[in-house]
Structure 1
Amino acid sequence: MPNRDYIQSVAYDLIKKYDTRDPFEICKATGVEVFYADLGNLKGMYKYLKKNRFAVINEKLDSYTKKLVCAHELGHDILHRDLAKQVCLQEFILYDMKSRPEYEANLFASEILIPDDEIFTYAHDGYDIEQIAKTLYTDINLVALKMAAMNSRGYQFINVMDTKSDFLRK
């Protein structure tokens, strides 16, 4: 199983190689086909089938959540392709921290979508985690996950809250 450093390194390499943090662009460049469908309560899913890689995103999600789900599914493609050969990875809850593959896909999404320097700058300027999330127009749980990962790399953010597993339920 990949560790935090590996996930951060892979995400950084993709960002650098394709000169973008847009998960839709990275999917296109790496051969992951993205489709939209009415998935009911399902946010998205990833499947590897006969050397074809698919991310399906619920068409009823808002544009921010579609981007987040795309980054998450891209994480499954990069980190869990062998697992996806056996089962379809489905997301009802994006921040499900009880499952290691889901945690890793969430961490990957945070690395793709949020630059370290932005977190560091806002934290250095005295912003708390909620203010950082609002400023970056992202979810507080994604910021918390990113800051915890940055702490593991030597940053010293204090009061990084626990991420919630059910914030995307509606």
Structure 2
Amino acid sequence: MNWIDDYVYGLIEFFKTDNIYDLYDYLGIQINKLDKDNILLLGNDGLYHRDFLDKEIVFIRNDLSIEYEKFILAHELGHAIIHTDIYNAAFNKSLVNKGKIEKQANYFAFKLLNIKFDSVELEGFTLDQISHAIGLPTRVLDIF
């Protein structure tokens, strides 16, 4: 996924930061924290939305750990940056490979947050143990 690496490195280079909150400020994307049962989340931990006036907002649960909050914000930023065609044009999102775009957004988040794994240190660990060690759910590790 070298093309995603280019987006991440370009973003960091252009704004001179990898701080997710600063990047949201620079890009003018609003963060709105909601209760986990809020209907706007559609059952998700976070959700990116661009309206017809191109106003961008991320709805995110207000009860996430700081590590997971940053990951979700980076994941949703990935959608905002690398999936612009999907969010601009598609009325019929059933034509979109949701699994593929979710993996790409997860990859974007891992790269932006510089989350790395030491294969020697983690040798013999299960996915559950690795996810616990980095403070993220197992399902986001599906890119590895």
Q: TM-score, normalised by structure 1?
A: 0.62
TM-aligned CA distance change 1:82 to 1:144, over 3 Å: closer
Instruction: Kindly indicate whether residue 77 of structure 2 is the aligned counterpart of residue 77 of structure 1.
Output: no
- Which residue number in structure 2 is paired with residue 127 of structure 1? 121
**What is the identity percentage for the equivalent residue pairs of Structure 1 and Structure 2?**
22
**SS of residue matched to 2:5:** helix
Q: Deviations over 1:98-127 (max 9, x none)?
A: 611111111100110126xx64xx44xx31
Give 1:25-104 correspondences, 5 Å limit. 25-40=22-37, 41-49=43-51, 50-85=53-88, 86=90, 99-104=99-104
Cα RMSD, aligned residues only? 3.0
TM-aligned CA distance change 1:138 to 1:62, over 3 Å: closer
> Is there any run of 5+ residues in structure 1 with no aligned partner, and where?
90-96, 149-170
Q: Distance in 2 between matches of 1:98 and 1:81?
A: 14
Letter paired with 2:67: Y
Deviation at 1:22, TM superposition (A): 2.1
Native 8 Å contact 1:38 1:59 kept in 2: yes
Q: TM-score, normalised by structure 2?
A: 0.72
In structure 2, which of residues 6, 18, 22 is the aligned counterpart of residue 21 of structure 1? 18
> Is there any run of 5+ residues in structure 2 with no aligned partner, and where?
38-42
Native 8 Å contact 1:110 1:143 kept in 2: no
